[in-house]
Structure 1
Amino acid sequence: MRKSFKIAIAAGATVAILGPLGYFWQQSLVPSTYDMASMGYPDYGGGQQAGHAHATGGLDVAALKGPSTGDPDVAVTLTARAEKGKYTLNGATPGPEIRAVKGQLVQVTLVNDNIQDGITLHWHGVDVPNAEDGVAGVTQDAVRPGQSYVYRFVVQDAGTYWYHSHQVSHEQVRLGLFGALVVAEPVFSEGIDQVVQVHTYDGRRTINGAVGESALAAHAGQVVRARVINTDAGPLRAWVSGAPYRVSAIDGRPVSSPTDISDKYVTVTAGGRVDLTFTMPASGAARVDVGTGVALVAGGLAAGPEPPGVVDLLSYGTPAPLGFDPAKATRNFDYRIGRRAGFLDGKPGLWWSINGHLFPDVPMFMVSTGDIVRMTIANSSGEVHPMHLHGHHAVVLSRNGVAATGSPWWFDSLDVGDGETYEIAFVADNPGIWVDHCHNLKHAADGLLAHVAYTNVSTPFRIGGSVGNQPE
């Protein structure tokens, strides 16, 4: 009897332990095919609850397209290939630099030669109509080998942007499926307009695909605009040596009354962009550094030490009107990033959490067209997260309780460090279902992604399935 009693206790203890574990394991499993808009739970932020992202009726993502007629002002064909352990666009990585003028119609034909997982193109930072956003399983199906897909959109805002695949993005971007997109003002100014696209291949940081130092073709007296684009997974430091410089734009949005900077660097968020402008000195020698030994150099200027200070974008520049009043917000959301033990699609581990939940049980932030949205992003996860909202630009209101006092800090990609809290705001003026995720793309693949969804929008596309849509 004693032995039987011990066995019964052991069996009961086993059930008590494994039962809950089995339940949580089961709950974590993600279906092989699912509607992203139906995952998790709706968070209405205190606003109107009519409709839902996966409700019938209303707007279909597939109908939220750019102009279907009219000759494009800029027409580009990009052919993606897998070759020699990397991915290329038109035989190169980075892919071709696309340039347009504000207000022009851009048409890009994406051809998948042989990439077996399929591909898409996301126009990072460009607030395109939702069907042009290039997120596999949410706004389109992945383009399979031998297929093509046409994107058409009007570039409404001048600025520095980039494009990249949003199918298995944590692998495809790292291996080369990306390129720069520059939108210029209709009236051009004299000077040098230079893309500084930073990417790390096999542990080697490059500028525009070149390792080490490259030539900057500028001479004394010329104004240089260096468009720094961070295509990597973590933040980088950028600065100008040999001349004072200004941060003239952040994520494609101009800075109000930027001032001269010396002996400081600016942090460029993963996925983010900063435009650095400066006048070439009389010596004709200057350099744009994006890390030790990686620079664009004019006049043979040797590398110096990294500047000791950092530009604080919270107070840089001067205030300017926002165009809306954040105090009149109709939606208020929390986006609390943490990390906890649990199961992610049946796999045990330490995973990123959103508001205490693991993917797929994460919030769907519900908005309606015209809403003023405030969101508090807090990070207690132990690592920095570059948060990227598709389809919109937001403005920083405060950091760690300190109000912004400089130029409006508009962004689409924002570093939120461990222990930091940002309050941001934006206007819901672009209907769709929009990814709001970490742009350390492996973090997104490990569950650090949510969505901002308009209450009357649905999508016909599905994650997984026969097409194999896998955006992160």
Structure 2
Amino acid sequence: MAPSALRSGRLRLLVATVATLAVAVPIAWMWENSLVPDTYDMATMGYHDYGGGPHGHRHDHQHDHAGTAVADLVEESGRPADVSVTLTVRRQDGRYTVNGTSPGPTIRATVGDLVQVRLVNENIGDGTTLHWHGVDVPNAMDGVAGVTQDAVMPGDDFVYRFVVDRIGTYWYHSHQVSHEQVRNGLFGALVVDPEDPDPAVLDRTVLLHEYGTRATLDGRPGTTAVDALPGRPVRLRVVNTDNVAQTVWVTGAAYEVRAVDGTDLNGPEPVTGKGIEVTAGGRVDLGFVVPPGGARVDFGGTTALTLGGDPSGGREAEPPGELIDLLDYGEPTGTGLDAGHPDREFDYRIGRRLGFLDGRPGRWWTINGHIFPNVPMYMVGEGDVVVFHIDNGSGEPHPMHLHGHHVLVLSRNGEPATGSPWWVDSLDVATGDSYDIAFVADNPGLWMDHCHNLPHAAEGLVTHLMYTDVTSSFSIGGRTDNHPE
């Protein structure tokens, strides 16, 4: 071979090698950077910015700060329980049950009660937990594997203790491999009554859930009939345990939206011919009076509840053409929260891009442009007034759920909220929409903040809110049995 040809061949080889390295090295770095370490714990997330600091700046805290451990954030031990329940969970033929049923039994308490629940894992090999969705429990009682406790393995148990200090409609569900366990039945309702409930009111709780492709109401498909005399007032508590929002509407009677996510609305007005959208993970309480011809409540057009008769005559449900907008529904009143001068402001920008999630290539959800675990840790101090700017540019809706706190919706797409104060723990953020929300950081701990379309959380749409004087007690992934999503 001529020297010139040899040099040309070597040059081509060198160029090819450099080009290969130019592609391979960044990919290898991205792959390595995406892995959840065997010793990974939530506290390590708090020391990277990733766009999570106030206005994108770094957080004002130190890596080696001392503080209260998550495991120590519990209810007082000396007080006896007012409500004591044992829930035994098991898996059989791919379905999960709680005390032999799905949905599990409804837990009922009176405001101010101390609730004690003993969780027994009979045979769920992946382990399990119970999260008290919408209840602002002490952090160590929140039931998130790897964040607030270790997963409860087969043959083991765990005792949850917390005071229910606000009336309302809530629910419980697994937060270990939750996208599988909740979908396949590991959930139930929790209702907190006022001290003197009105005995004249027919108080009914219903849970919407899709098992596989079969939509159900309290585990049953089709229409459920309830006996109710004309003139009987009804409070219907609707719990959406599915991964997507459901539209609910009433035929035959005007109705009011009495509460959202456990908080009563102020001055709700009667409506007819409109539906109400119930966020995934969210709850609404509807109020109406049974008319002489009966009332029918439809849930997404696939299941229904009739009370005192069916005014539609059993005909196929016609969904309403308009939805109630909670941004201007009801009457304004004081909130006790001054969001005009917050102590902390954060951006929470939801997107999607190609990359690696724990070593797996794919198109994953992002927070502020980053893929889990390299996402922001939102750091707050106790007593801070906090404002989040949530923006969804991902192409799909996301029902966002912050643990341990209720948040006030300030605006949507720049339009201020003008109706009843709209407090939520689960907020459906449509693609292209933006929300400003606010809350007071009054429940110290390490709290999950994630999409409640649970497969989305498993695909990376999850981060955490951490108090600056709290330290992590648990870890996820790697050699642990903790896999919250």
1:407 to 420, 444, 453: 420
- Report how far residue 343 of structure 1 moved: 1.1
Structure 1, unmatched stretches of 5+, are none
Q: AA paired with 1:179?
A: G
Tell me what 2:190 maps to. 181
- Report how far residue 268 of structure 1 moved: 0.5
Tell me what 2:212 maps to. 202
Query: TM-score, normalising length from structure 2?
Result: 0.94
Provide Cα deviations, 1:175-213, integer angstroms capped at 9, x if missing partner.
111000000111111211111100000111101111110
- Report how far residue 28 of structure 1 moved: 1.1
Q: AA paired with 2:384?
A: D
Instruction: Give 1:306-321 correspondences, 5 Å limit.
Output: 306-321=319-334
Tell me what 2:456 maps to. 443
Query: TM-score, normalising length from structure 1?
Result: 0.97
- Report how far residue 57 of structure 1 moved: 2.3
1:150 to 145, 159, 163: 159
SS in 1 for 2:340: helix
Does residue 86 of structure 2 align to residue 86 of structure 1?
A: no
- Report how far residue 239 of structure 1 moved: 1.0
Distance of aligned partners of 1:98 and 1:121 in 2 relative to their CA distance in 1, 3 Å threshold: same
SS in 2 for 1:418: coil
SS in 1 for 2:9: helix
- Report how far residue 3 of structure 1 moved: 2.5
Comparing 455-464 and 405-414, the one that deviates more: 455-464
Tell me what 1:330 maps to. 343
- Report how far residue 300 of structure 1 moved: 3.1
SS in 2 for 1:295: strand
Tell me what 1:281 maps to. 291
CA distance in 1, matches of 2:169, 2:276: 16
Q: Is the 8 A contact 2:401 2:427 kept in 1?
A: yes
Q: Is the 8 A contact 1:66 1:153 kept in 2?
A: yes
Larger C-alpha radius of gyration, 1 or 2?
Answer: 2
Tell me what 1:28 maps to. 34
Q: Is the 8 A contact 1:30 1:360 kept in 2?
A: yes
Q: Is the 8 A contact 2:248 2:276 kept in 1?
A: yes
Q: AA paired with 1:263?
A: G
- Report how far residue 14 of structure 1 moved: 1.0
CA distance in 1, matches of 2:246, 2:300: 7
Provide Cα deviations, 1:418-471, integer angstroms capped at 9, x if missing partner.
000000000000000000100011111111011110001012111135540111
Comparing 414-423 and 62-71, the one that deviates more: 62-71
Q: Is the 8 A contact 1:77 1:111 kept in 2?
A: yes
Provide Cα deviations, 1:202-252, integer angstroms capped at 9, x if missing partner.
111101111110112322001111111000001110111110000000000
Instruction: Give 1:207-226 correspondences, 5 Å limit.
Output: 207-226=217-236
Tell me what 1:296 maps to. 305
Structure 2, unmatched stretches of 5+, are 1-5
Instruction: Give 1:89-104 correspondences, 5 Å limit.
Output: 89-104=98-113
Tell me what 2:16 maps to. 10
SS in 1 for 2:333: coil
CA distance in 1, matches of 2:59, 2:26: 33
Does residue 357 of structure 2 align to residue 351 of structure 1?
A: no
Identity of aligned residues (%): 56
Provide Cα deviations, 1:85-118, integer angstroms capped at 9, x if missing partner.
1111101110001100100110100000000011
CA distance in 2, matches of 1:209, 1:56: 48
Does residue 72 of structure 2 align to residue 63 of structure 1?
A: yes
CA distance in 2, matches of 1:224, 1:243: 11
Tell me what 1:364 maps to. 377
SS in 1 for 2:126: coil
Q: Is the 8 A contact 2:36 2:477 kept in 1?
A: no
SS in 2 for 1:13: helix
Comparing 8-17 and 175-184, the one that deviates more: 8-17
SS in 2 for 1:397: strand
Q: AA paired with 1:27?
A: N
Instruction: Give 1:244-283 correspondences, 5 Å limit.
Output: 244-283=254-293
Q: Is the 8 A contact 2:351 2:368 kept in 1?
A: yes
CA distance in 2, matches of 1:50, 1:357: 21
CA distance in 2, matches of 1:55, 1:185: 44
Comparing 426-435 and 63-72, the one that deviates more: 63-72
SS in 2 for 1:5: helix
CA distance in 2, matches of 1:366, 1:464: 22
CA distance in 2, matches of 1:362, 1:48: 13
Tell me what 1:108 maps to. 117
